[in-house]
C-alpha cells in the first residue's frame, strides 16, 4: 500500500496540471456552459486612457483573482504608454480575459515585450473547447 502513495501523488499532480482554464466542456455538451455573448461589431480598447476606476475596463475585461487582490500587477500609470503587467514573484501571471467572445474577425495588438531573462510576453485567443492561437 505504501508503494502506491508516490503513484497517487504523481497522478494528482498530472491531473491538476491538465486542468483547463475553461469552466465548461462544450465538446461534451456540458450543461454548465453559459451562452457566449459576442462582440456585435467593431470594438477596441485603449489601455493608454484607462484605469482601475474606469467602468469600461470592468465591462470589457475580467482580471484573474490574484491580480484583482494585488492591483500593483496591472499598472495604468505608464505616462500614456498603456498597461504594464508586473510579475513580482515566481508564479505571477497577470491575466486579462475579455467578457465577450470573438466569433470571427481581425485582432490587432500593439505591445512591448517584457525585459529580462525568462520572461514571456504573450497574447492568446482561446475557446471554451481549449483551442487556442498564441502569439
Would you kindly state where each structural domain of the chain is located, as residue ranges?
A: 23-134
Each residue's pLDDT tens digit, 6-34: 444 444 443 443 344 446 777 776 667 77
With cell 450543461, the residue in question is 31
Burial class (CB in 10 A: 0-12, 13-18, 19+), 47: buried
Q: pLDDT digit string (tens) for 73-89? A: 889 888 888 888 888 88
The stretch 99-117 carries a mean pLDDT of: 85
How confident is the model over 82-104, as a mean pLDDT? 87
Res 14: pLDDT? 39
Burial class from Cβ neighbours inside 10 Å (0-12, 13-18, 19+) for residue 73 reads: buried
Amino acid at each position: 500500500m505504501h508503494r502506491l502513495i508516490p503513484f497517487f501523488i504523481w497522478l494528482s499532480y498530472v491531473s491538476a496540471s491538465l486542468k483547463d482554464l475553461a469552466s465548461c466542456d462544450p465538446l461534451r455538451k456540458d450543461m454548465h456552459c453559459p451562452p457566449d455573448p459576442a462582440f456585435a461589431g467593431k470594438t477596441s480598447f485603449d489601455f493608454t486612457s484607462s484605469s482601475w476606476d474606469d467602468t469600461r475596463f470592468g465591462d470589457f475585461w475580467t482580471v484573474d483573482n490574484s491580480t484583482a487582490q494585488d492591483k500593483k500587477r496591472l499598472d495604468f500609470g505608464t505616462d500614456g504608454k498603456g498597461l504594464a503587467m508586473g510579475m513580482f514573484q515566481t508564479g505571477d501571471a497577470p491575466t486579462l480575459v475579455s467578457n465577450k467572445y470573438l466569433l470571427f474577425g481581425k485582432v490587432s495588438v500593439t505591445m512591448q515585450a517584457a525585459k529580462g531573462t525568462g520572461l514571456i510576453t504573450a497574447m492568446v485567443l482561446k475557446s471554451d473547447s481549449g483551442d487556442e492561437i498564441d502569439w
